[in-house]
Amino acid sequence: MTIVWTTIRVGISPMPSSTKAYRAMIKLTEHTGDGPIYDLGSGWGSLVIRMATKFPKRQVVGYELSLLPYLVSLSVKRLMRLDNLNLYRQDFMKADLSGASVLLCYLYPDGMSKLDLLIDTQSKKDLCTSTSSLSKVNSKHLFSDTPHFHCGCNPDFVISNNFALPSRKAEKEVRLDDLYRSPIFRYKLDQSVNRIS
């Protein structure tokens, strides 16, 4: 029932990516530095747990609103003792994303438009310099009943499964070997030319 309620609220159910999509997204994350990785809608934890396992020296954060998927992923995290992984039951649009170096997402068109606008806000350095390191995520964490607020969203990369950021050009696009030739997009946001005119 909580999954149905959350689906109505946010407009999408916690749909896991395919194994091929996981592999492609992990591959595209390999050369993105050593900064924190945020999964926006981490669902059952399939991708975020793989990321935390693949990159043990990087901090990994997952946001998920649906209770059951969140609890399942939290249980797996504890079972696997993934100390570099933090999971929150929260709407990422109301969270502090200022510490993110890489954003991972499998959203929907309207969700990508909202994310595009969120990235267009003032930089994290202007709005919230005191929370720029992930070590302070817990102390600055904003829960789901908090009004819309964030400390800026200025990641270095966005990696998206299937859906594109509407106003930006992908630095790299991978087509999966599946029935639909599903795309995986990677955006490098520090490039001066990354806008669709």
Of 6, 113, 102, 3, nearest to 62 by C-alpha is 102
Rounded mean pLDDT of the chain? 82
Kindly tell me the sign of the dihedral angle through the C-alpha atoms of 97, 150, 109, 144. Answer: positive
pLDDT digits (tens, 9 = 90+) for 14-53: 566 689 999 999 999 999 999 999 999 999 999 999 999 9
Q: What whole-number distance in Å separates Cα of residue 154 and Cα of residue 68?
A: 30
pLDDT digits (tens, 9 = 90+) for 67-97: 999 999 999 999 999 999 999 999 999 999 9
Alpha helix stretches (DSSP H) within the chain: 2-10, 19-29, 46-54, 67-80, 109-119, 124-127, 137-140
Residue given tokens 């490098």 in the structure block: 188
pLDDT digits (tens, 9 = 90+) for 104-128: 999 999 999 999 999 876 444 455 5
Q: Is 66 helix (H, G, I), strand (E, B) or coil?
A: coil
Domain boundary assignment for the chain: 2-106+125-153+175-188
CATH of domain 2-106+125-153+175-188: 3.40.50
Find the Cα–Cα–Cα–Cα dihedral 118, 120, 122, 128, rounded to 10°: 30
